[in-house]
Chain A
Amino acid sequence: MRAVRLTVTAAATAAALTALSACTAKSDAKDGNAIQVTAADSTCDTSSKSVPAGQVTLKIENKGAKATEVEILFPDDRIVSEKENIGPGTKYTLTAEVKPGSYEIACRPGMKSHGVRQKLTVTGGGSASARDPKLDQAVAEYRQYAQDQADETLPKAEAFVKAVKAGDLEAAKKAYGLSRLGWERTEPVAESFGDIDPKVDVREDGLESGQKWTGWHRLEKALWHDKKIGAEEKALADQLLKDLKDWQGRVGKAEITPTSMANGAKELLDEVATGKVTGEEDRYAHTDLVDFKGNVEGARKAYELLKPVAAKNAPALAKELDGQFGALDALLDKYRTDKTSYDFVSYDKVTGDQRKELSDAVNALAEPLSKLAAAVVK
């Protein structure tokens, strides 16, 4: 967590993504312009593949046996507008202001996975210039990754919360590091929702005047420093879970661009450089290397998705990044015996010389990584 958030949103400037405000409402929209969406458990039929720009109306009917979710999506899978939890046999009308461009309508039976997609072309003058489809694909896959990380975090956070609420100090300590991993991997996306980060990942010194200390690090202090779990901690554990569910539900709406992905990767290394290498992040639990690894994994994922474009535009940079990611991973592996586990050496056992070595490796990777965004948009 950082005191100053350079959010992903701030970097999202691609013309293709400047949609007008989307809104959802049960409206009595005129049928003339409406698209009939017939959703079932394995199909998603739409009555029209092309509509003029402006207010677009979806008249949705769920004919399947599962509850479904219907979305209008940008080419990179960012959500223009959506309706969740449309029950079997029910109808819903969704409206949105949509600019000219290429979109998809997705039905997600069971409200998960990629869903069934239909193309939608929104016509009109002044259509935004199309982006390299490879980059749209990279953004779409990265968004899926971010969603997966949130989805996978929830059960781990639940295990942590359960242990806290059971008053089981040792089990809670054990579950703490892993519950943070998905968050750490996708921190720039998570932080782009400015209101969630201060609730779940703030450290005591990061509190603003009057702000109540909640989240992981508050519980970390209780577990490792105070060594006791009281009623307040149990309530805070519940609150953490609630806030993380909020994050899970909003990942799909995060503004993500190829540039913000690349800069997000660099920001993850910045997180390592300013918080983890110094041991400030998990100052009581000393699980900093778990967070460290998570940050690097998340940065690497963003890089790997952008690599097809980066390697073409800047082959030497891609080679350098491959080498430096490899070197940092190899260095981190020295701090765990089982390379499939996240049981890292406690950071208070990492010597000054070792911290310097880790810091040097972070600098070696972060410097070329800072050039990735330019290589991608070239």
Chain B
Amino acid sequence: MTETQGTQAAPSRRALIGWGGAGLALGAAAAGGAVAMARTGDDMDPAAAETGGAVEFHGAHQAGIATPVQDRLHFAAFDVKTEDRDAFVQMLKDWTDAARRMTAGKAVGEGAYGGLAEAPPDDTGEALGLKPSRLTLTIGFGPSLFDRFGLRDRRPEALVDLPQFPGDNLDRARTGGDLCVQACSDDPQVAVHAIRNLARIGFGKVAIRWSQLGFGKTSSTTPDAQTPRNLMGFKDGTRNIAGTETDRLKKFVWVGEDDGPDWMAGGSYLVARRIRMNIETWDRTSLQEQEDVFGRDKREGAPVGKAKEHDEPFLKAMKPDAHVRLAHPDSNNGITILRRGYSFTDGTDGLGRLDAGLFFLAYQRDVRKGFIPLQRRLSAHDALNEYIQHVGSAVFAVPPGVRDSGDWWGRTLFSKEA
């Protein structure tokens, strides 16, 4: 993933950024404290349609939350392996440098070739020649991080440990983590390259605890775009918050100035859940039941009795345990989360069944007023529970964006002057 060198076939990296104007425009707008998306929709914006462009890394908020959802995911949770706060902070700075380069379509460090023959190259090289592919890298800090480095007093009140929900069957090896990085890109190799190189830089300071690939997006943050289907064949979360909905983002996603703690202002909270689907039993379920379970029709994704997926649902027309009815803000005192999940298939489970489902990712201003009450309700009543099981779980405080080239991930948490 070096800078494009004299190849006339592809537009230059700079041209790609300039073309959509999205990256630069977002950076400018975000620096001003507002969230404005230059891109209006995946299906309308030429740069997005090309899916090769770069997303601006710097801004008031981290990219990868309200920015348009890319096609692919590699998500990694890390454990901290060092007691040395300075070494950990240096790694965050090194990660920031690498992230800044990779999201711009550049190789890490001194690149993947041309260096000393006796040394392994800085960059692992599999993204050479690939476009930036809208790569975003988003970092989060787990509750257990605050047991380290004298951070106990800095832990946000909103960063609570998730309770055990009915039906949870969590695999400890796929749960928790001191920190996480979400890599989203339109090219899976670009996303994997990013996580791999960050893990390499992190050796000795952090170690991957678990990671998850997602091959297909299941949500959209672009208004009026079609909601991508999940592996059950349904559209879900059609009323997702769009990147242009500044008011709803402010109300439901971004941590406000007065929410506390100061270092989280402009950040968000992320809940990650690995939700295994009982694919084979679902596939044997009658169409009527499938539609009843969701409260939508399968073809269009329209709520019961409506014509289009974005039509306002009439909840009372649905069965009491229908997924949409239970999850809708109107049934939950207005609770709204920003969904950014991906479908996954990790091969088969040894019993000839797909090991597949939804890697659910949700951003919110406060987990206690977002995912937790929502999931309490769903885990107790949702008709969908017969076909799914939550098998992995994690929660992270996602700090505000990296402001400029001198800033770094986690500065507001770790820097004394911040």
Q: Give CA–CA (A371, B116) in the complex, Å.
A: 10
Q: Are B116 and A364 in contact (CB under 8 A)?
A: no
For residue A366, which residues in chain B have a CB less than 8 angstroms away from its CB?
Answer: 203
Q: Give CA–CA (A378, B117) in the complex, Å.
A: 11
Question: Most chain-B CB neighbours within 10 Å: which of A320, A356, A363, A366?
Answer: A363
Size bracket of the A interface? 20 to 34
Q: Give CA–CA (A377, B118) in the complex, Å.
A: 8
A324 to chain B, nearest CB (A): 6
A148 to chain B, nearest CB (A): 27
Bitwise interface map of B from 201 to 245 toward A, beta carbon under 8 Å scored 1, else 0: 001100100000000000000000000000000000000000000
In-complex Cβ contact of B204 among A263, A356, A363 (8 A): A363
Q: Which residues of A contact B (CB under 8 A)?
A: 259, 262-263, 320, 324, 356, 360, 363-368, 370-371, 373-374, 376-378
Q: Are A373 and B118 in contact (CB under 8 A)?
A: yes
Q: Are A368 and B119 in contact (CB under 8 A)?
A: no
Q: Give CA–CA (A368, B120) in the complex, Å.
A: 10
Q: Are A374 and B81 in contact (CB under 8 A)?
A: no
Main secondary structure of the interface of B (DSSP, over half): loop
For residue B207, which residues in chain A have a CB less than 8 angstroms away from its CB?
Answer: 356, 360, 363-364
Question: Most chain-A CB neighbours within 10 Å: which of B79, B81, B118, B207?
Answer: B118
Contact of A367 with B200 at beta-carbon distance under 8 Å, contacts A360-B81, A360-B207 already known: yes
Q: Which residues of B contact A (CB under 8 A)?
A: 79, 81, 116, 118-120, 200, 203-204, 207
Q: Are B204 and A373 in contact (CB under 8 A)?
A: no
In-complex Cβ contact of A367 among B79, B116, B118, B203 (8 A): B203
Q: Which residue of A lies closest to B204 (CB)?
A: A364
Q: Are A363 and B116 in contact (CB under 8 A)?
A: no
Q: Are A324 and B204 in contact (CB under 8 A)?
A: yes
Contact of A374 with B116 at beta-carbon distance under 8 Å, contacts A360-B81, A364-B81 already known: yes
For residue A376, which residues in chain B have a CB less than 8 angstroms away from its CB?
Answer: 118
Q: Are B118 and A363 in contact (CB under 8 A)?
A: no
A357 to chain B, nearest CB (A): 9
Q: Are B204 and A259 in contact (CB under 8 A)?
A: no
A363 to chain B, nearest CB (A): 5
For residue B204, which residues in chain A have a CB less than 8 angstroms away from its CB?
Answer: 320, 324, 363-365, 367-368
Given contacts A363-B204, A367-B203, A376-B118, 14 further A-B contacts (CB under 8 A): A259-B118, A262-B118, A360-B207, A363-B203, A364-B204, A364-B207, A366-B203, A367-B200, A367-B204, A368-B204, A370-B119, A374-B118, A374-B119, A377-B116
Contact of A370 with B81 at beta-carbon distance under 8 Å, contacts A360-B207, A363-B207, A364-B203 already known: no
Q: Are B119 and A371 in contact (CB under 8 A)?
A: yes
For residue B119, which residues in chain A have a CB less than 8 angstroms away from its CB?
Answer: 370-371, 373-374
For residue B116, which residues in chain A have a CB less than 8 angstroms away from its CB?
Answer: 374, 377-378
For residue B203, which residues in chain A have a CB less than 8 angstroms away from its CB?
Answer: 363-364, 366-367
For residue B200, which residues in chain A have a CB less than 8 angstroms away from its CB?
Answer: 367
For residue B81, which residues in chain A have a CB less than 8 angstroms away from its CB?
Answer: 360, 364
A312 to chain B, nearest CB (A): 17
Question: Most chain-A CB neighbours within 10 Å: which of B81, B119, B204, B207?
Answer: B204
For residue A373, which residues in chain B have a CB less than 8 angstroms away from its CB?
Answer: 118-119
Q: Which residue of A lies closest to B201 (CB)?
A: A367
Q: Give CA–CA (A367, B94) in the complex, Å.
A: 15
Q: Give CA–CA (A365, B203) in the complex, Å.
A: 8
